[in-house]
Amino acid sequence: MRKSFLLASLLLLAFAGKVEAQNISIQACQPYSSQAQPAPCQAPASTQIGAAIAITNTFQVALALNSTIAPSGATGTRSSCLLQNNGTHNMFVYFKKSGGTAASLTAAFVLLPGYTINCINTAGQILQDEIDITGTSGDTYSLIVQ
């Protein structure tokens, strides 16, 4: 009786081990690799320009409404922009919504020499507004936009 108990125990262990191995094998063969993979994120192309203030204290368009190409290029959804004052005097930057009021020095942001301003508001939204700029004639600025 002792031999039959031992034999039955060995068979039970062998069978249990086989079932466990089969379960592992089945779990390892789930078709995860056949699921569609997301496409990698690709940033839009950037356009960078350098420009100068044409007439002192007269606003000019730096970036047109909804434009991704400065100053008046193709329209589309803008994903970012950055404007830098490369001049030696303050510049004034005004974000003008469609149908909005004309740019004015009192309503504009003051951009000190060497400083930048971008088109992201405090809620993280990208402003699609026309961007107008003025300053001292001959002072330059750089603009990069996507």
In this structure, the answer to whether residues 112 and 51 fall within a common structural domain is: yes
Per-residue pLDDT of the chain (146 residues; tens, 9 = 90+): 555 544 444 444 444 444 333 333 333 334 444 445 555 556 667 888 899 999 999 999 998 887 765 555 555 678 889 999 999 999 999 999 888 899 999 999 999 999 999 998 888 888 888 999 999 999 999 999 88
In this structure, the answer to whether residues 88 and 137 fall within a common structural domain is: yes
Asked if residue 21 is part of any domain, the answer here is yes
Give me the pLDDT at residue 75, please: 58
- Structural domains in the chain (count): 2
The one-letter amino acid code at 36 reads: A
Prediction pTM value: 0.66
CB 63 within 8 A of CB 133: no
Give me the pLDDT at residue 64, please: 85
Asked if residue 133 is part of any domain, the answer here is yes
Give me the pLDDT at residue 46, please: 80
CA distance 62 to 52: 10
Give me the pLDDT at residue 21, please: 36
> Which residue segment(s) compose the domain that 103 sits in?
47-145
Give me the pLDDT at residue 38, please: 53
Give me the pLDDT at residue 31, please: 41
* For residue 38, cis peptide bond before it (omega within 30 degrees of 0): no
Q: Is 33 left (phi over 0), alpha (psi -120 to 50) or beta?
A: alpha
Residues shown for the chain: 146
Asked if residue 40 is part of any domain, the answer here is no
Asked if residue 41 is part of any domain, the answer here is no
Give me the pLDDT at residue 2, please: 52
Going from the C-alpha of 60 to that of each of 28, 41, 96, 123, the distances in angstroms are 64, 35, 12, 27
Sign for the pseudo-dihedral over CA of 74, 69, 126, 46: positive
Give me the pLDDT at residue 32, please: 41
Q: What is the CATH number of the domain that holds 56?
A: 2.60.120
Asked if residue 42 is part of any domain, the answer here is no
In this structure, the answer to whether residues 74 and 133 fall within a common structural domain is: yes
- Give the pair of three-digit tokens for residue 12: 């039970």
Asked if residue 58 is part of any domain, the answer here is yes
